[in-house]
Homo-oligomer: A and B are copies of this chain.
Amino acid sequence: MDEQDINERHRARMQRKKEVVDQKIASARRDAGVLLVNTGNGKGKSSSAFGMAIRALGHGMKVGVVQFIKGAKPTGEELFLRRFPDEVSFHAMGEGYTWETQDRERDIAAAQRAWDKARGFLADASVGLVVLDELNIALKYRYLNVQQVIADLRARPPMQHVVVTGRAAPPELIEAADTVTEMQLVRHAFAAGIAAQPGVEW
């Protein structure tokens, strides 16, 4: 098969593919706020949420961030997003992972304070995207009531997007979400002895 045949076959295949893709897009035509959940053991759950944050900022939306576990030390995302106080309201309200604090009552109190902050965003239609980072961890340890959380999420403004991150998302939340991704660990640099690098992991 010569080069011209390859190119022609490619064109025909891509034309068929375009018809399938176009049909899919045409059938998804409703505008609505999306509830996303990023879960699984692989890397990319929080970073994907912060990538959405800059997409939202690029489209002129306001962004509210609540970090449920992180907060003990400032991360790159916090250092950067705090440069835009008019556009981003950033709240790192955790005190470290629960195996760091080892104090369940303190964790519950911190999670409840963080959820109160989240509810403020979920009641404010001027906030286009709400990032609830590591909320799944707080739900997994039952620091928060999942039914209450879902009720508050459902009551939010209809065009507001929300992204929830963290391992082990509860089945009830997965059921309630519009878009769910499981970040599957294929390989991690930790296993090769590389420490958590700034700009990559935090």
Contact = CB atoms under 8 A, between A and B. Distances in A.
Interface of A: 6-7, 10-11, 14-15, 17-18, 21, 24-25, 27-34, 36, 38, 40, 42-59, 61, 75-81, 97-105, 128-129, 141, 161, 174, 177-200, 202
A81 B178 CA distance: 27
B197 A31 contact: yes
Q: Report copies per complex.
A: 2
B34 A54 contact: no
Given A24-B190, A30-B195, A55-B198, 19 more contacts: A10-B102, A10-B104, A11-B104, A15-B102, A28-B196, A29-B193, A43-B48, A47-B47, A47-B48, A48-B48, A51-B53, A52-B199, A54-B80, A55-B77, A55-B200, A174-B186, A174-B187, A178-B189, A180-B187
B47 A193 contact: no
B34 A195 contact: no
A126 B8 CA distance: 43
30 contacts: A15-B102, A17-B99, A18-B100, A25-B196, A28-B189, A28-B193, A29-B195, A31-B195, A31-B197, A33-B197, A34-B194, A42-B181, A44-B51, A50-B55, A51-B51, A51-B52, A54-B77, A54-B80, A55-B200, A56-B76, A57-B80, A58-B78, A59-B76, A61-B198, A61-B199, A179-B187, A181-B183, A181-B185, A182-B186, A183-B184
